């Protein structure tokens, strides 16, 4: 299916419009300041400094991480998504400057990477495994293509094409080319975008080559290391190069690399028939989302190497769940959905978007989490070595700052996630709910203006007004979220009889649609308890709260310290209420729970049952945690009813 | 109070006699082979190799850890405890060889340490913080004093005295001496033993100096580092030198160092009135045993630096709980008990001895755990970086092999832990229960032969026969274990009326005791559920099984894989039964529990309650785990009844 993107979709007042406003007014300006080292107290980025020096052609010592260019490129991509829908003179000026710098920093042969421009003693493409050159190139391509699409600027596309051509000349199966693939996948996604922007098949071919060549024998990374005399051992699993992708059974290694590789592979799979690749991606999808994903949609359990560990290893406190990995999971989900219309992909995209990803930024847009645990215990986080990566509060920037601009581009792209049109042009999919207006082309109806109203995710009442150019028979497919226990759909006030016509997670309404047709979808949003699969050991005997797509968290600010002593029983009487003061307005949940009390004399272990006091508890959306006084946070509480019906 | 030790106490057939037989027949011979690098497949120790080279005076490169001598010295101590009670020609010959080697390796000035003898380029006492010289010296003193006591060998005591004199000349407040203290405490305990063996007050004074000097400003470790031009940062908390012991509020840093320091300080406190030191030790005792101790008596939560972390941080899978630290906790408890007759100390000694320490050795005596987690999940242990220290099976030896000989000396010293006599000679304390015969001197009764019968810890029925030289009034104080909910005591068949006369954990029977008096103590030993303090987050909603002093563990061998899915409810109907095939005969527990079932379609998260199947479960004593096929192990299961009475 084809997504409906760009100016075709415009948000209206609501949850995501608020975030887009915040993005334009706070997040992107803050990030621009950070990129030019102008945020007091933040680690310097050096990214714009490097790029400006490279553009001047004067050389100099590159500073910061080897992939600092990518932060600028991701910022450019995010700003471009904003610019395609609204006026933002400051962002427009900065984005134009970035494109100008890129054009000037680009080598005559198309190569673009400030670090190697500044330090010409370091040979290009010598260490494809570790130097992140393809990763940086990919982000440049994505940013430049997005800018071109937003502004029509020919120079941006020209820089991208010259860079793409350079990659095509450098890599591939042909003679004299490097028969290799990126150490950090990313460029696969970017090359598909460049192909879509230009129609030039060589870019798609190269993306395809990178996907299929990866993991073949003889191992490129080993050969490459040998050729540069590098005898240090490396772990092919970390790089997802231990075997060809078609033979990889489990998500492994560096989580962000995995997400980007799978997303790029899904892009490739969408362009041509390769049932084996699609089947492999489905299997990996299940491995990630059914065995290795946090409740929040965070992935990558372990801080050491930012990697996957083993199925069902989902510790709350030690969770790494890098913001970039949640962003990557959305990117992958979106592409799986393009491959096949299955609501599970949109369910997971929603989970990761509203929880694991969005938690990465503060309500004021100026501070970020890199690591997103589901439990924070400040005393331990300071003392314990295994929690060294955990930050108790969001930070203004990072020495390795991949996450903030990644999250920015995701937020900026939310309108592009909402709708899709089936190949035959006769089915309109509504994947996600957000107050908005969209114009889509459908074969039987011409242009259809779709107006979506509602207060999602706070409310499950959604209204759609359809204004097709002409009456015609086509299918409106409304996603029935996996979290919804029931749904009521009405067309022009007439309720669709149960059972609803549901196909792979979508309510499919095929009929003759006329201008002015109204569709309503009512998804009850009770407060609900969620439990994990019994094999998830760290979550055994634990329960979390969700309402709609949102995971909730308990904070010390509401519930006092020692959150581990809290237990949750029945939540039927819990109330959802709007707290305007929290994160620009968030729906919180309150009700009764339990606080387990210390045994007499504070004994560490006791043979008598643990008494419990009934207490009032309040939970906030996980994404909104950490926007008040620093303190404890916990998603999973003790489950007062750990056993369901016995068999 | 004075412990009753040495030949005065002799074990009879029972739990500990079995272990002492195993020690003499399997453990100490295996360790001797390991110390001379004769165990195939085990990492070489080099300890005897180094010592023999040093004794020859030929020099050579020292191999292994800087403290390898201490493994030999601990072996000597353990063997000496055996030799003082029984004939063991092979052990006697090896022990004599060790003493001979030590005497020959000793420098003319009394210094004794193979590493520095072999490598004379490395100055002695230059890096007291890191070089473990005082630690090694301490273990030599302990081993030599024990050997002298067992055999009367004057040469052993002479070597010890010369070494002690060397330490006294080298360290202390006087002019020309090093005003410092050990990086790894241990010598404090040893100097007190040397003082007791010789009556020479200088040794006690030096132990006292080490205890009180530690942590004073200016910081010795910093000055010492400065003087050798060592600018690397170090963490004084790791060394327990961040402030004077009298000002230390929490157990911190390296757990074994902490245990040894506190034990040495308790020895010092027992020799003279220092209420502040006693009070400080009581506070640290509470900090450890009420906030930082595993159910098994293991301490030191974190593998990184083998250290304490923060109160109530008691993860099952990441537990480090080094065998040496459990041994150290017993050593400290024993000394606190000497300071004041409080059953809590004996309770904790019992907990650590029967669980955290004893788990360190296999039933065949030839394999050892260094790390003692309360949960082992093989798949994760292999993959997760934070579990890198966890061994799935006991190992024949270690490159750093402090634990095996430490455990050997603890097992060998069990008879010494059983009894104590109050200062006034008119109260006999029975701290621990074990089939045995003891001869104690009591002022009112002369020599009293105490015969203890019973099958502790498998049974709580204990019978004591008292045979005093003459009738006399004195007090028999029987420890009422903290785990016992009730107790019945009878004297000559007449039940002592309730409430029992209990003082600080002891049933005190003061009366005119006559030859032939019989006392019985019946401690019911039901299978019981144990929960942790609600602040122990990792244990929230979890329950463990105990019977008497023993912690139980669930193994894959009995219960299948995926132990995290198991839940425990009521255990009143559980049965205890003897399994002769397990670890030489162990009482196992069996009954009904629950296995929580995966949600439909294996979803990772579900909003419906988790169904549970009633299943048969079997638990084995924690110390006996890992003696069958390798697999999962888990102490804490999901608590089916996590909330007790509401308040």
What pLDDT does residue B601 have? Answer: 83
Return the percentage of chain B with pLDDT > 70, whole number. 100
Mean pLDDT of B162-168: 98
Q: Rounded to whole angstroms, how far apart are CA atoms A97 and B223? A: 56
Q: What is the pTM of this model?
A: 0.96
Mean pLDDT of A191-220: 98
Q: Rounded to whole angstroms, how far apart are CA atoms B26 and A95? A: 76
- Residue A93 neighbours by CB under 8 Å, 6+ apart: none
Nearest to A347 by CA among A586, A552, A553, A548: A548
For B631, the token pair is 């697999």
Which of A295, A541, A604 shows the shortest C-beta gap to B293? A604
| DSSP per-residue letters across A181-240 | --SS--HHHHHHHHHHHH--HHHHHHHHHHHHHTTPSSPHHHHHHHHTT------TTTTT
What pLDDT does residue B330 have? Answer: 98
- Residue A218 neighbours by CB under 8 Å, 6+ apart: none
Token match 């006292």: residue? B208
Inter-chain touch B598–A483, beta carbons under 8 Å: no
What pLDDT does residue B58 have? Answer: 80
Q: What is the ipTM of this complex?
A: 0.95
Q: Which fold has domain B2-417?
A: Glycosyltransferase (1.50.10)
pLDDT in tens, A211-250: 999 999 999 999 999 999 999 999 999 999 999 999 999 9
What pLDDT does residue B212 have? Answer: 98
Is a pLDDT exceeding 80 seen at residue A647?
A: no
Q: Please state which of the ranges A103-107, B59-63, B545-549, B598-602 shows the lowest mean pLDDT.
A: B598-602
What pLDDT does residue B647 have? Answer: 75
For A183, the token pair is 């150490």
What pLDDT does residue A425 have? Answer: 94
Is a pLDDT exceeding 80 seen at residue A600?
A: no
Is a pLDDT exceeding 90 seen at residue A646?
A: no
Mean pLDDT of chain A: 97
Mean pLDDT of A456-479: 98
- Confidence label for B303 from pLDDT (cuts 50, 70 and 90): very high
Q: Is beta strand A2-3 parallel, antiparallel or unpaired with respect to A9-11?
A: unpaired
A526–chain B nearest CA distance, Å: 11
Mean pLDDT of chain B: 97
- Across the A/B interface, how many CB contacts are shorter than 8 Å? 225
What pLDDT does residue A272 have? Answer: 86
What pLDDT does residue A276 have? Answer: 98
Which of A536, A541, A602 shows the shortest C-beta gap to B639? A541
Catalytic center residues of A: 306, 402
pLDDT in tens, A474-527: 999 999 999 999 999 999 999 999 999 999 999 999 999 999 999 999 999 999
Is a pLDDT exceeding 90 seen at residue B272?
A: no
- DSSP reduced 3-state for A283: helix
Long-range contacts from A526-529, C-beta under 8 angstroms, 24+ separation: A526/A485, A526/A572, A527/A571, A527/A574, A527/A575, A527/A576, A527/A589, A527/A591, A528/A483, A528/A571, A528/B607, A529/A568, A529/A571, A529/A639, A529/B607
Which of A295, A311, A564 shows the shortest C-beta gap to B535? A564
Q: Which fold has domain B419-522?
A: Maltose phosphorylase, domain 3 (2.60.420)
Inter-chain touch A564–B604, beta carbons under 8 Å: no
Is a pLDDT exceeding 80 seen at residue B48?
A: yes
The structural domains of chain B, with segments of one domain joined by +, span 2-417, 419-522, 527-643
Is a pLDDT exceeding 90 seen at residue B470?
A: yes
Q: Rounded to whole angstroms, how far apart are CA atoms A65 and A131? A: 10
What pLDDT does residue B627 have? Answer: 98
Contacts of B606 in chain A (CB under 8 A): 530-533
Chain B interface mutation, best of A484, A534, A637, highest count of B Cβ atoms under 10 Å: A534
Contacts of A386 in chain B (CB under 8 A): 302, 304, 318, 386
Q: Rounded to whole angstroms, how far apart are CA atoms B575 and B358? A: 23
pLDDT in tens, B334-343: 999 999 999 9
């Amino acid at each position: 299916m084809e997504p409906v993107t760009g100016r075709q979709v415009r948000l209206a007042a609501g949850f995501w419009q608020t975030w887009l406003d915040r993005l334009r007014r706070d997040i992107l300006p803050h990030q621009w300041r950070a990129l030019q080292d102008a945020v007091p107290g933040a680690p310097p980025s050096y990214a714009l400094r490097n790029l400006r020096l490279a553009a001047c052609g004067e050389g100099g010592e590159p500073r910061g991480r080897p992939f600092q260019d990518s932060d600028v490129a991701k910022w450019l991509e995010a700003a471009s998504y904003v610019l395609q829908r609204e006026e933002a003179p400051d962002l427009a000026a900065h984005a134009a400057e970035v494109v100008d710098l890129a054009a000037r920093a680009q080598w005559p042969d198309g190569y673009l990477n400030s670090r190697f421009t500044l330090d010409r003693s370091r040979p290009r493409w010598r260490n494809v495994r570790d130097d992140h050159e393809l990763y940086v190139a990919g982000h440049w391509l994505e940013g430049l293509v997005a800018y071109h699409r937003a502004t029509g600027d020919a120079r941006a596309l020209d820089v991208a094409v010259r860079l793409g051509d350079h990659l095509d000349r450098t890599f591939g199966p042909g003679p004299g080319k490097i028969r290799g693939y990126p150490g950090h996948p990313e460029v696969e996604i970017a090359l598909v975008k460049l192909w879509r922007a230009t129609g030039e098949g060589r870019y798609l071919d190269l993306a395809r080559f990178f996907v299929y060549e990866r993991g073949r024998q003889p191992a490129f990374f080993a050969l490459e290391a040998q050729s540069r005399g590098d005898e240090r051992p490396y772990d092919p699993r970390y790089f997802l190069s231990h075997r060809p992708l078609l033979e990889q059974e489990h998500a492994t290694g560096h989580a962000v690399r995995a997400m980007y590789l799978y997303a790029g592979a899904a892009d490739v799979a969408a362009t041509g028939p390769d049932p084996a690749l699609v089947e492999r991606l489905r299997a990996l999808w299940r491995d990630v989302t059914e065995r290795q994903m946090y409740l929040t949609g965070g992935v990558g359990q372990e801080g050491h190497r930012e990697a996957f560990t083993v199925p069902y290893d989902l510790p709350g406190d030690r969770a790494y769940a890098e913001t970039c990995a949640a962003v990557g999971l959305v990117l992958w989900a979106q592409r799986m959905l393009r491959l096949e219309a299955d609501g599970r992909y949109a369910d997971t995209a929603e989970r990761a978007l509203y929880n694991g990803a969005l938690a990465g930024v503060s309500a004021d847009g100026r501070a970020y989490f890199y690591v997103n645990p589901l439990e924070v215990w400040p005393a331990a986080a300071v003392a314990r070595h295994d929690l060294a990566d955990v930050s108790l509060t969001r930070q203004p920037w990072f020495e390795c700052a991949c996450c903030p601009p990644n999250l920015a581009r995701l937020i900026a792209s939310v309108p592009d996630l909402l709708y899709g049109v089936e190949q035959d042009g006769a089915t309109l999919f509504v994947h996600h709910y957000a107050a908005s207006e969209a114009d889509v082309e459908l074969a039987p109806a011409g242009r259809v203006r779709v107006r979506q109203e509602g207060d999602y995710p706070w409310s499950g009442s959604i209204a759609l007004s359809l204004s097709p150019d002409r009456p015609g028979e086509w299918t409106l497919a409304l996603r029935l979220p996996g979290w919804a226990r029931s749904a009521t759909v009405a067309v022009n006030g007439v309720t669709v009889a149960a059972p609803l016509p549901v196909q792979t997670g979508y309510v499919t309404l095929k009929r003759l649609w006329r201008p002015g047709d109204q569709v309503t979808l009512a998804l009850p949003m009770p407060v609900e308890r969620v439990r994990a699969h019994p094999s998830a050991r760290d979550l055994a005997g634990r329960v979390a709260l969700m309402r709609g797509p949102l995971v909730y968290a308990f904070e010390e600010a509401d519930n006092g310290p020692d959150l581990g002593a809290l237990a949750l029983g029945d939540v039927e009487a819990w109330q959802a209420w709007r707290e305007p003061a929290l994160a620009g307005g968030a729906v919180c949940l309150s009700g009764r729970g339990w606080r387990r009390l210390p045994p007499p004399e504070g004994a560490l272990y006791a043979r008598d049952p643990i008494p419990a006091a009934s207490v009032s508890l309040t939970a906030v959306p996980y994404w909104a945690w950490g926007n008040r006084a620093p303190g404890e946070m916990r998603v999973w509480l003790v489950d007062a009813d750990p056993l369901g019906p016995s068999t």
